[in-house]
Every structure is written in structure tokens, then in C-alpha cells.
Amino acid sequence: MTIQVDYRFPPGVNAEKQAKVIAIGQTVGSWDDRFSHREDSFQLYLAQVIRVVVHDSGHSTATIEFPVGNTEGDIGSLLTMIFGKFSMAGAAKVTAIRLPDNYGQMPKIGLSGIRNRLQVQDRPLVMAIFKPALGLTADDHAGILRDVAAAGLDIIKDDEILGNLEIAPTIDRLKACRQVILETKETTGKELLYAINVTGRAHEILDNAKRLVANGANALLFNTLTYGWSVLESLAQDPEVNVPIFMHPALAGAMCGAPDHGFNYSTILGTLAAHAGADAVLYPAHYGSLPFEKSEEMVIRDALRSRNVFPVPSAGIHPGVVPRAIADYGNDVILNAGTGIMDHPSNPAAGVIAFFEALERVNKNQSFSIDEVPDSALKIALQKWMT
């Protein structure tokens, strides 16, 4: 089995030469006659340049094939091999990584498991974010959750910035919100997931996650790129962490935003996330508030779904973009809104209702023109975000 990686080089770079540097330097390295008796062994570990293609733009893409046996089957050793030292050698961008199906791990819960836990099979899921992000108490969080839970919300998550802070310690937020979740289920029969942010030093995070799950957490949020791929893998592998893990893309722009350096977003938030055990992955939507290419978004969508991971387009999602989201994703998507729910002019519950009204209008193929939408939570939302 092999791993194939595409590297894009800007005009003026000798892609063939650089590809050979990667193939040798990121695997065996050079050798001389002193090691000629090891030639057969070296060939087993040496990467090969498969092709070099020159594009009309002047950019070139080199494809290199690496032996799987050069890695430990995880994301850390993979990244060290394919782009470790060479990432400091000049302009080059990893645009695609093709891994064997059995590389890394599948999600424990995944798209189908999240649907089963929520008992919702036939529509997109609606997710909210606690806002404001900082400064609320645990009781404040519970009050917000009580409001949106009554409106039928499926999932709520912490803001990624919110850690284990003195004003609202993580365990206190969990206990306060867990009570609301139990009350909602008793009253309505509806399940609701709360993806609580798990943080800490590397040696603490797994214990913190286990403690949260033992105290009733039914989902976790994890900032993989700031805390580490190996930590995500450990969370995903541990049988005591038997809840879905929502991966947040914080720091992705620093790795992916430069035109000729780093990685394509789809490699980090699509391929690697899908092979690291995440159950759902957040990333910007191209019609949202962050600059993002639709082509990248669709590659991420497909990479995640291919391994039963829920795609979660985010950042600037509001009820007015629901038709576009459904056109892009169909039903297998989580619509994740922060201000798009919490800043609804009526109240956050109306923000949730507006999303469900939007989904109903899409299903009925009805217009989203403001003057054709009857007075409703949706119409108020469209007046706020679409005018």
C-alpha cells in the first residue's frame, strides 16, 4: 500500500527537481558506497515521483508516492514524512493526500450514529453556538439552552474560545446544561446534543474528556489544530469517550491560507480529519462570513462523507442561506449558526424556528423572496440578514 501526495509549486520553481528532493529527503535520504549492501532495504522505504504536470497558470503539480510503512499509521508521522522539514524549504503547497481506506481510524459514532442518537434521519440537523462567547456564567448558558431547546434545536456547542475559565468552569456548564437537556427530553421526548469544549494540557485532555462523559456529556468539541492530531486520535480511540467529537478548524487559516505554502484546506479539514477519528468537522461555508472557495468546500464535504463523518459548514450561516446549503449538501449536513440563531431580532428560540421554517420552504420548493414569505420568524430573519 502507498500514500500519494500532490505538491503544487509556483511558476519559476523546478518542480521535477524539488519533487526528487522531497522523495529522497523526506524518506531514506542520500547514501554512498558504504551502504551499498543496504540498497534493497533503502528501496523499500524510498518515495517515488509519479508525475509532474505543468498547468496553464505556470504552476506545476508533482505527485509523489510514499510507502505506508514509513509511517506509524497516524496523522503525526504522516505529516512529518510528507511535509516536515521540506515545509521550510520554500514555496510549495500540499494540495491533495490520498490515503488507503484503512489508514488511521474511522469515527466511533459518525454521521449515522449522530442521527441515531438524535433520532432524526430525514432532514438536516440544526446546530447553535452559545453567544456571547465569553463572560457568561454557567446559569447563563443553561438559560440560553432552555430557550433554544424548547424550539426543537438538535445540537448546541460551546464557542471554541471558551475554555475552563473561572467565570464558567467546564464542569459547571455541563451540569447546568445537562439539567436542561434532561428536562427537555422528559417534556418533549427530544434528544439534544451539547458539544462541550474539552481543553487542557496534553496529559490532561483525555482525563478531562472522560470526566465530562462520566458526568453526562453527550458530545465534545475539540480544537484539533491547536491541541494536536494525536490528542484527537487518542480521544477517538478511547472506549470511555463514547460520544461524538466535533472537530473545530481553529488555526486552519495559518496552515492553509497562503497561496503557495502550507496545505489546501481540503487536505486538513477533509482528508486528515476524516482519517483521524472525528465524528463531525466544522469549516467555513463559501456563502458565509469567511473567505472560502466552493470547490474546496465540496472536496471537504465528499472526503468527510466517504468515511461517515458529518460535514458542518459554518461561519455566517443564517436562515437565508438554507436553500443554497441544501442545494450543496442535501439532507446530510449540520447547519451550524451562532449569531444566525442567537441574534434573531425576536429571540434565540425564534432563530431556531426560522431555520426549521426555512427547511420547510425548501422542501415545498417555495420562494425565499421576502415579500412572498408570510409573517414569521423566518421573514424577520430574512429582513435582518438578506436586506
The mean pLDDT of 225-250, rounded to a whole number, is 98
Q: What is the pLDDT of residue 33?
A: 79
Q: What is the pLDDT of residues 163-188, one digit of tens each?
A: 999 999 999 999 999 999 999 999 99
Among residues 85, 131, 379, 384, the one annotated as catalytic is 85
Q: How many angstroms separate the CA atoms of 110 and 131, rounded?
A: 26
Q: What is the pLDDT of residue 200?
A: 97
Q: Active site includes 85?
A: yes
* Closest-CA residue to 229 (of 78, 71, 68): 78
DSSP state of 276: B
DSSP state of 268: I
The mean pLDDT of 96-119, rounded to a whole number, is 98
* pLDDT of 381 over the 90 cut: yes
Grid cell in block for residue 167: 467565570
Q: How many angstroms separate the CA atoms of 149 and 144, rounded?
A: 9
Q: What is the pLDDT of residue 34?
A: 87
Q: How many Cβ atoms from other residues are within 10 Å of residue 225's Cβ? A: 22
CATH number for the domain whose boundaries are 110-385: 3.20.20.110
Name 67's bridge partners: 2
Q: What is the pLDDT of residue 353?
A: 98
Name 127's bridge partners: 155, 336
Transcribe 120-188 into DSSP letters.
--SS-EEEEE-SSSSS--HHHHHHHHHHHHTTT--EEE--TT--SBTTB-HHHHHHHHHHHHHHHHHHH
Q: In 3-state terms, what secondary structure has residue 51?
A: strand
Into which CATH architecture does domain 2-98 fall? 2-Layer Sandwich (3.30)
The mean pLDDT of 13-19, rounded to a whole number, is 96
Longest dimension (CA), the chain: 82
Q: Domain spans of the chain?
A: 2-98, 110-385
Q: Is 172 exposed, middle or buried (0-12, 13-18, 19+ CB in 10 A)?
A: middle
Q: How many Cβ atoms from other residues are within 10 Å of residue 220's Cβ? A: 26
Show the beta-strand stretches assigned E in 33-91: 48-54, 60-67
Grid cell in block for residue 330: 442535501
What does DSSP say about strands 92-98 and 2-9: parallel, antiparallel, or unpaired?
antiparallel
Q: Is the pTM of this model over 0.95?
A: yes
What does DSSP say about strands 280-284 and 245-248: parallel, antiparallel, or unpaired?
parallel
